[in-house]
Chains A and B, each alone.
Chain A
Amino acid sequence: MSAFLEIRDLSARLRGTRERVLRSVSLQVPPGTVRGLVGESGAGKSMIGKAVLGVLPRAVEIVEGEILLEGDDLLKASPATRRRLIGAKTALVPQDPLTALNPSRRIGRQVTDRLVDILGWDKARATTRALEMLAEVRIQEPERVMRLYPHELSGGMRQRVLIAAAFAAEPKLIVADEPTTALDVTVQKQTLRLISELQARHGTALLFVTHDLGVVAKICDRLSVLYAGKVVEDTGVEKFFATPGHPYSAALLAATPRHTDPTSSLRPVPAAVLDAVGDEIAAADAAWRPHG
């Protein structure tokens, strides 16, 4: 099956410098599958999600590569076409459910906004859809919740509202950027299950940004391990945890505490591994010839 999202050789750099923040990143997300983007802070995980959604910070410019949504290259499209494609086919589940919701507007409006403003649905249809989605994310009394303000909901409820809003327009691709990092473990589990269930039912392609390998093990099919903006390993989840294919991946796993195995020693990523990845990146940079 062809991928819904395909990224080919995407490189980006800080404007006015030669320093690349994404280094020839390639990956695919077929429909109905979940791809994890993992790595330490500053590795470029969120940057990839932002590039796909067209919301890179101004300081970052894409130097080359392709971002294909169902075969349409977002980077070659006109700004208007790009906005329409992104608006119609993708959605975001953000990290912090409190800052992502406007505190002065009711929940209902915030779920229907996108449907009305971007997809041009009429209000009645959007409201019906919002009620359906709130029920699907198991929010009790959706009619009442539609009239509430964000501060009247718990963190877990707010995140479910955002999940409902993301799935409401049946996007083909959802980018979830650390969606459960701000939640308690018990709420995290419910939320991840919910995302998994909706993703499978709707056949959505999911790009899942996280630093937590435990979460990757529970939700992803494949994953890309990033270091300094470079994909050091692209592999299936089972294989990653059984036999990681890159020394850096293995080092990340060895640094992750497991409650089931409290006595084995935790090993921070060894300097030798970091030096080796650094060399690998320097070699890739030296060989890299931007076209145009």
Chain B
Amino acid sequence: MAEAIFSIEDLRIEVPDMARKPLFGPAPRREILKGLSFEIARGSVLGIVGGSGSGKTTLGRALLRLMEPTGGRIVFDGQDITHLSDERLRPLRRRIQMIFQDPMSSLNPRLTVGRIVAAPLGARSSDPRIAEALDQVGLSPAFAGRYPHEISGGQRQRVGIARAIAMRPDFILADEIVSGLDVSSQAQVLNLLERLVAELGLTLAFISHDLSVIRRLCGRVIVMQAGAIVEDAPTAALFDSPAHPYTRELLDAIPTPDPSVRW
């Protein structure tokens, strides 16, 4: 197995449960990630699936250290980042990128595509790296001059991908990035990610509730339920012989586009 870019040990996150806070005194604590341990190998694509409220997005936020864990360890490329200060995290930030679910709200409507992609690089939009990144996601240099509202949803999502890969990051987190797209744009974005993973050797964690999408893209899948990992297996094995009842339930519930498959 390749070297791990991320090693997660017994990761826990607790938040105050404000719904149960008494009038005086502190709110009771509620654990939303309950001791997760797994690794992400360099150059691999990890799928994270689970129902709503299972903690998949919280896990993503913890990996990016947008949230500080209340227990356990997150080791990124040999460095323990579990409790690093914002200042000490800053140099790591450019190595860890994110692609967001809703490209409309994650692209600044007042900036051109070129400036959006250039911003995290601290570069001008004429920088050759911008045209290169756009080219890698299949957008012609002409797109650099357009605004987000002038392009389609699928194209916006590709701008989000271009912005992430332009940084040449060691790791990209993609949180439900195709769930808002039509099938045709979804197919384009998935094909694009498959190609980029192969060509650039990206390391990717792909959060999704859609197992058909996970199956195409990911080498390994972790299945989450109620803040815990119930199954962690190579994708083919997970689909062929799911071990946990919840995984079976998820697989069983996929609406296959084939009327002869009974539900």
Give A residues with C-beta under 8 Å from B: 40-41, 155, 184-189, 192-193, 211-218, 237-238, 241, 251-253, 255-260, 262, 265-269
Q: Residue B87 at the A interface, CB < 8 A?
A: no
Given known A-B contacts A40-B183, A186-B249, A251-B184, A258 and B257 have beta carbons under 8 A apart: yes
Residues of A contacting B216 in the complex (Cβ-Cβ under 8 angstroms): 257, 262, 266
In residues 216-262 of chain B, which contact A (Cβ within 8 Å)? 216, 235, 239, 249-261
B212 touching A257, Cβ below 8 Å:
yes
A185 touching B257, Cβ below 8 Å:
no
Interchain CA distance A266-B239 in the complex, whole Å: 19
The total of interchain contacts (Cβ-Cβ below 8 angstroms) comes to 106
Of B4-12, B129-137, B186-194, B198-206, which binds chain A?
A: B186-194
**When each residue 156-178 of chain B gets 1 if its CB lies under 8 Å from chain A and 0 otherwise, what string results?**
00000000000000000000000
Chain B facing A: main interface SS:
helix
Residues of B contacting A256 in the complex (Cβ-Cβ under 8 angstroms): 183, 187, 257
A252 touching B215, Cβ below 8 Å:
no
Interface size on B, residues (CB 8 A): 35
Q: Residue B127 at the A interface, CB < 8 A?
A: no
B212 touching A40, Cβ below 8 Å:
no
Residues of A contacting B65 in the complex (Cβ-Cβ under 8 angstroms): none
A217 touching B252, Cβ below 8 Å:
no
A258 touching B182, Cβ below 8 Å:
no
Beyond the given pairs A40-B182, A187-B51, 6 more chain A to chain B contacts, judged by CB atoms under 8 angstroms and listed by A's residue number, are: A40-B183, A41-B182, A213-B183, A217-B255, A258-B256, A259-B251
Residues of B contacting A238 in the complex (Cβ-Cβ under 8 angstroms): 259-260
Interchain CA distance A269-B186 in the complex, whole Å: 10
A217 touching B257, Cβ below 8 Å:
yes
Residues of B contacting A253 in the complex (Cβ-Cβ under 8 angstroms): 257
Interchain CA distance A215-B257 in the complex, whole Å: 7
Given known A-B contacts A193-B263, A262-B215, A185 and B254 have beta carbons under 8 A apart: yes
Residues of B contacting A269 in the complex (Cβ-Cβ under 8 angstroms): 184
Interchain CA distance A214-B212 in the complex, whole Å: 11
Q: Residue B32 at the A interface, CB < 8 A?
A: no
- Which of A192, A213, A214, A265 has the most chain B CB atoms closer than 10 A to its own CB? A214
Residues of B contacting A252 in the complex (Cβ-Cβ under 8 angstroms): 183-184
Interchain CA distance A90-B208 in the complex, whole Å: 36
- Which of B153, B191, B257, B260 has the most chain A CB atoms closer than 10 A to its own CB? B257
B255 touching A212, Cβ below 8 Å:
yes
Interchain CA distance A67-B230 in the complex, whole Å: 51
